[in-house]
Amino acid sequence: MPSTTAGEPVPIETSHEDMIHDAQLDYYGKRLATCSSDRTVKVFDVVDGETQRSSGHTLKGHTGPVWQIAWAHPKFGQILASCSYDGKVIIWKEQPAQGPGTGGWTKIKEHTLHKASVNSVSWAPHELGAILACASSDGTISVLTFKNDGTWGADVFEGHAIGCNAVSWAPAVQPGSLIAPQTNNTVPGQQPPAVQSVKRFASAGCDNLVKIWVFRDDTQTWDEEAVLEGHADWVRDVAWAPNIGLPRSYIATASQDKTVLIWTKDTPTAPWVKIALDPSASGTVSPAGAAPAPAGKFPDVVWRVSWSLAGNILAVSCGDGKVTLWKESLKGIWECVSDVTS
């Protein structure tokens, strides 16, 4: 394949036999996993930005379209979770080869507690342990926890009345911890006390709502901490921005109503405040012949939102085939800094 310049898209042949719904690079960007309506998950090695044809693995186990995949942190091993229309979540692990012809991907857990399609899976920050949140069309959310004795625990609770479309974990770093005054009560030579992490995630529903859930250690239950109202149709995706310990928290939500909302929270006790991305103000062009989208609206349904690793750039995937990148200016206005047409 001819070498490509930076920024030029590289097509990848996956050999899937139907529509691809998700593609995820692992922690190191060395492996690419894809999933499809052909009921399979495929894993490829990536070298110099290109997938290797000889290295592909096909993971078979689902009986319906596979909607989403998620890599666990490498400290737990080479582990991949997949969710499907068949109502199952499968956790796959790559076993290291002991000799020629051995090794490969095996199913280590099949989660069948949902009664309808499972639409989204998301691993918690690795500091919290091997924990997986799953969102289903049956209206429930489940949280799978890998325990020290090798078993999996499952909490299942009602999330959204008509169905749940996506889940996204809050960072393990507490907001504001970077600039909080350090209490220097540690004895010299001893480890400083560990920062208390909180298990918290956001879910997006068919009831037009985004909900924030927090785990209470005293009752060992998941409680609804906040409800974010602002969309006029199904919320298709939610993404909680990474945080290095600055006070402000960011959540992005994408909806069937053709809008993307950015929710911000300045302090742990402050309310969530929303602002809509405005493609019309940023000069993004509507498709040829189409009427310009009204202010604050994208030209089509917005399917996915995803933050950069540093949490300062947001990628928005729209039904018109475009991916736009957004950044907050020093004045607090969100501006489109790039758009990529697929």
Q: What is the DSSP string of 281-329?
A: HHTPPPPTTSPPPPTT--SS-EEEEEE-TTSSEEEEEETTSEEEEEEE-
Strand partners, 136: 118
CA atoms within 13 A on the CB side of 186: 10
Query: Is the model's pTM score more than 0.85?
Result: yes
Instruction: State residue 183's pLDDT score.
Output: 56
Tell how far CA 323 is from the center of its chain: 16
Instruction: State residue 10's pLDDT score.
Output: 74
Alpha-carbon span 86 to 39, nearest angstrom: 9
Angstrom CA distances, 319 to 61, 182, 231, 237, stand at 29, 47, 17, 13
Instruction: State residue 198's pLDDT score.
Output: 87
Strand partners, 205: 164
Helix (H) or strand (E) holding 279: helix 279-282
Q: Are strands 140-146 and 152-158 parallel, antiparallel or unpaired?
A: antiparallel
Q: Which of 127, 121, 119 is nearest to 199 (CA)?
A: 127
> Hey, what are 337's tokens?
């800094």
Instruction: State residue 6's pLDDT score.
Output: 46
Is the Cβ–Cβ distance between 104 and 57 less than 8 Å? yes
Mean pLDDT for back-to-back runs of 10 residues, the chain (342 residues)? 54 84 92 93 82 76 96 95 96 80 82 95 95 96 91 94 95 81 59 70 97 94 96 97 88 97 93 94 54 77 94 93 93 90 64
Instruction: State residue 208's pLDDT score.
Output: 96
List, for residues 187-244, the tens digit of each pLDDT value. 566 655 555 678 999 999 999 999 999 999 999 999 999 999 999 999 999 999 998 7
Is the Cβ–Cβ distance between 140 and 157 less than 8 Å? yes
Q: Which of 261, 335, 340, 244 is nearest to 305 (CA)?
A: 261
Instruction: State residue 322's pLDDT score.
Output: 92
